[in-house]
A and B are shown apart, each in its own frame.
Chain A
Amino acid sequence: MRDLASVALNVAKQQGASYADIRISRHLNNFVFTRENRVQNVTNTESYGFGVRVLVNGAWGFAASSTLDRPEVERVTARAVALAKATRTIQRSPIKLVPVESYPSARYDTPVKQDPFTVSLSQKADYLLKVNAEAMKVKGAPGPIFVNSLMFFTKEEKYFASTEGSEIEQTLIRSWPTFTVTSVNPQTGRFEQRTSLGTPAGKGYEVVEEYDLLGEAPRAAEQAIQKHTAKPVEPGRRDLVLHPTNLWLTIHESIGHPTELDRVLGYEANYAGTSFATRERLNNKAKPYGSKFINIKADKTQMGGLATCGWDDDGVKTTEWDIIREGILVGYQTIRDNAWVIGLNRSNGACYADSWHDIAFQRMPNVSLQPAAGSERISADDLIADVKDGVYIEGDGSFSIDMQRYNFQFGGQVFWEIKNGKKTGLLRNVAYQSRTPDFWAACDGVGSREFYRLGGSYFDGKGEPGQINAVSHGCSFARFRNINIINTGRRI
């Protein structure tokens, strides 16, 4: 690999590149899909190739191929240079890079207890079929119970070399077991679903052992059944207490994305959009992002985080930094080609490409709400105790947010009515809708560290052509006052 990398970097420099990098990577996926008592599909995928990125006269060019030999590396590198040169006519503002340290021999591996690619298929399939059976044992259903379950494992083996003198090898592993139970009532024609509250993580097969899907399955089936007779929510303004399995997604959409500097500057305007979190809000106490309870950190080094790695795809060593401190926006996510715009001379390492055939650009690190400081134990019940009329939500559901990340609407998996400080019964047809700065300003309580956990997504989409990113978000419980609750029930 080193020899082929040298070919690419030398050809790029000879043809006029002021900067070049090459990523050679192998991407492995393993999926096991089951439903009820049968294994539906088992798939292993493998993709291998390389991509060369060059900066020529202030313009980016990128080219990639799945054939890895010297003539192809030369051809593809020349193609990247030619593309950068042809782009010059629309390069009205030259691309500039902040400096980066050189890492001539670096290595990072996701710490795993058990590589999921070494676990037998029968072990994975047997476990999922047991989960399905546990859900299907539950009595009292008004009709059929269906269970779909899956395990999804990914491994990226990546070699990066750049003209800055870096050579970085990384192996990144991610694991995700999950299921969905559906209960059908043939008499009413209604069906109700409940998806696992488990989450993907930047870990090995131990994720399956650490999260008790077997224990959750019957509870999920019971709740899917109970939803048939749950009370439809009365729309109106209520207090909300959110479980970390729900709040992670709200953090992702309303804090993670709006604090990406490329969005703030306008580079994603055509697709994902721009951001309300403009530079005039940075360090501006007159325009807070949220209440004093809101402390947000970005972290690409967090154990178990889906976005965690040793170096980003700019070759920048990963780190952690503050995004919001006591409700005030204090930082953005940056990469080498935009950090300088806000006066920084170092990227904080948020550059990523989802494969060898896609260009690296700004992608989200793990972005998390810090739990309450101090030694006081603050549980969901403690937050609920001070709610007269509210809703408590577990699990993530429907999600949608506008292109500047103001107006959002989120659902969930399990909704509890809160009356006079206690959870009473289940509700259905619930979603909450708010405006990002109003929502985070309405937070008046955050749970303590014992209840902090990560949620996350394998499939955060961004960019054109589209790429995905895996990212985690940690938080404890949190309480929000006077939020707009809507009823999503309709008749057709």
Chain B
Amino acid sequence: MALLTSQEAERILQKTLSFSKADEMQAQLFGNRQAYNRFGVNSASTSGDGENITLVINSHFGQKGGVATTNTLDDAGLERVVRAAEEIARLRPDNPEQMPFLGKQAFQDNPAAYDEATYNAGAETRTSGIGATIDGAKPKNLVAAGIYDNSGGFQAMANTKGLFGYSRQSLASYTTTVRTADGTGSGWASAMSHRISSIDAKAVGARAIDKAVLSQNPVAIEPGNYTVILEPNAVGDLVSFMFNFFDARQADEGRSFLSKRGGGNRAGEKFFGEQVNLYTDPYDPRLPGQPFDGDGLPNTKYDFVRSGVIKQLNYSRYWAKKQNVEVNPGPANLIMDGGNASIDDMIKSTERGVLVTRLWYIRLVDPQTVLLTGLTRDGTFLIEGGKIKSAIKNFRFNETPVKMLNNIDAMSPVVRITGSERVGEGFPILAPALKVRDFAFTSLSDAV
């Protein structure tokens, strides 16, 4: 039920449009089914299998607009939600920033984004992967927790100006944290892909187990500025956090780290190290994205940062028109180019530094500089003389990704990240591991 075909979705959308009394109306339909098995303390905890379809109506009367959503899709439900959006639009004041809906667009299909086997995978696939982790952990006196989930769905949109789009997507992920029974060690590993066949759950579990064993009995070293090797999930979390503040309007209004003193934004300036390229490409087979965005613009490949220079900020349709620039669609995903160094290469080339598996509870401290704070977690190690010397206690950092991206010494090939707070679930991200100079750890944590 949650995975309607293009024809089924179009039928519902056209029926919805037929109820419109507005000057123009746009309707979006989202359907999804997600199934999962969760575990903790080496045993199953909860499991779920849920499906939902949501219809979003946006009605315009002149410069007035209203949005209403429902998941009741019988004819009465469709008409009710259309009337609800129209009532909002009629009662509200004009919005001078409201843009008319787009007319018919050409969207390039992206069939790679949807994998039938991922949508249909059952509990046996998930419990088999989880069982391998538990069976690997228990004999070593380790305790495992985690989640294995798979999902699939569609999005469709149509409006009274002739636009129609439909696409499908799927996703699977497995993450596990393995801790020593005495609570002195903890390791984490993850895999995320739009194809469940790419998830090697046994290998993910084995990585977490190895990290848990290696991270036991950490020693405290002084906080300070260190050379760090950040694994891809740590890099992806920091870079995607910074990317939240790539909004052009915020920058032009003077309230962003990308604002220019005296007015305007810093697009065109060299902001990061020469190695830094950030771009989006919905048709990259490693993390295929949606072919259209929420406004109905076709998603495309384009640069945000090329050779350290800011090439593009995110424009809403209104702000692009006001500033007389071309609007950028999406983006559908975020890709940071990597390099050829392996993490082992990075360790070998490091005289003294810290290896970080992942970061946790990353939050914005100061928007002026995108100063972020957070903690290392689940595998933090001291490197001396080109080797891992010991597990160390976790640190809190206070650092800005802007500085980090100016201090890169080495980059690994990229991987698709999950992210500590699952940022990669809603927004696909590819990131490399980085070796970075002068990363600021400001206090010690007793947490394991």
A interface residue numbers (CB < 8 A to B): 38-49, 51, 59-67, 79-80, 82-84, 86-87, 89-93, 120-122, 125, 129, 143-144, 146, 182, 184-191, 193, 262, 265-271, 273-274, 276, 357-359, 361, 398-407, 409, 411, 429, 431, 433, 435, 461, 464-466, 484, 486, 488-492
Contact = CB atoms under 8 A, between A and B. Distances in A.
Interface of B: 1, 34-54, 65-72, 81, 84-85, 88, 91-97, 122-124, 127-128, 130-131, 134, 143, 145-147, 149, 175-177, 179, 183, 186, 188, 253-255, 257, 259-263, 360-371, 373-375, 377, 394, 396, 398, 400, 402-403, 421-422, 442-448
A267 to B, nearest CB: 4
A41 B43 CA distance: 46
A372 B115 CA distance: 60
Given A92-B43, A189-B260, A400-B373, A63 B366 contact: no
B418 to A, nearest CB: 11
Contacts of A65: 1, 50-52
Given A45-B69, A86-B122, A357 B254 contact: no
A407 B375 CA distance: 9
29 contacts: A38-B94, A39-B95, A46-B68, A47-B54, A63-B50, A65-B52, A83-B48, A86-B123, A86-B127, A87-B44, A91-B43, A125-B93, A144-B253, A146-B255, A189-B262, A267-B40, A268-B40, A269-B177, A269-B179, A358-B50, A359-B48, A402-B360, A402-B377, A402-B447, A404-B448, A406-B446, A407-B394, A464-B175, A488-B365
Nearest to B143: A266
Contact of B71 (A48, A125, A488): A48
Nearest to B177: A270
Given A65-B1, A184-B254, A270 B49 contact: no
Given A268-B40, A269-B177, A87 B93 contact: no
Contacts of A270: 40, 145-147, 175-177, 188
Contacts of B124: 86
Nearest to A341: B41
Contacts of B377: 273, 402-403
B398 A266 contact: no
Contacts of A42: 65-67, 88, 92
Nearest to A428: B366
**What are the nearest 10 A-B pairs in CB distance?**
A189-B261, A267-B40, A86-B123, A64-B50, A184-B254, A404-B447, A407-B445, A402-B447, A269-B145, A92-B43
A484 B443 contact: yes
Contacts of A41: 65, 67, 95
A59 B44 contact: yes
A486 B366 CA distance: 13
A400 B361 contact: yes
B366 A488 contact: yes
Contacts of B143: 266, 269
Contact of B36 (A79, A93, A465): A465
Nearest to A126: B93
A91 B134 CA distance: 11
Contact of B145 (A44, A46, A267): A267
Contact of B46 (A39, A185, A359, A404): A359
B368 A190 contact: yes
A184 B262 CA distance: 10
Contacts of A401: 361
Given A358-B50, A488-B366, A189 B259 contact: yes
A151 to B, nearest CB: 13
A256 B264 CA distance: 44
B49 A79 contact: yes
A271 B147 CA distance: 9
Contacts of B443: 407, 409, 433, 484
A261 B257 CA distance: 41
A434 to B, nearest CB: 9
Contacts of B145: 266-270
A294 to B, nearest CB: 20
A330 to B, nearest CB: 23
A409 B176 CA distance: 27
B446 A492 contact: no
A359 B149 CA distance: 14
Contacts of B92: 39, 42, 121-122, 125
Contacts of A187: 261-262
Contacts of A87: 37, 44, 47, 123, 127
Given A48-B71, A65-B1, A187-B262, A358 B365 contact: no
Given A42-B92, A269-B177, A464-B422, A398 B447 contact: no
Contacts of A60: 44-47
Q: Which interface residue of B70, B96, B365, B402 has the most chain A CB atoms within 10 A?
A: B365
Contacts of B93: 38-39, 125, 129
B160 to A, nearest CB: 19
A188 B261 contact: yes
Contacts of A83: 35, 47-49, 123
B393 to A, nearest CB: 10
A64 B72 contact: no
Given A66-B71, A273-B447, A402-B445, A409 B373 contact: yes
Contact of B52 (A38, A47, A84, A189): A47
A296 B364 CA distance: 29
Contacts of A429: 366
B67 A186 contact: no
Contacts of A400: 361-363, 373-375, 396
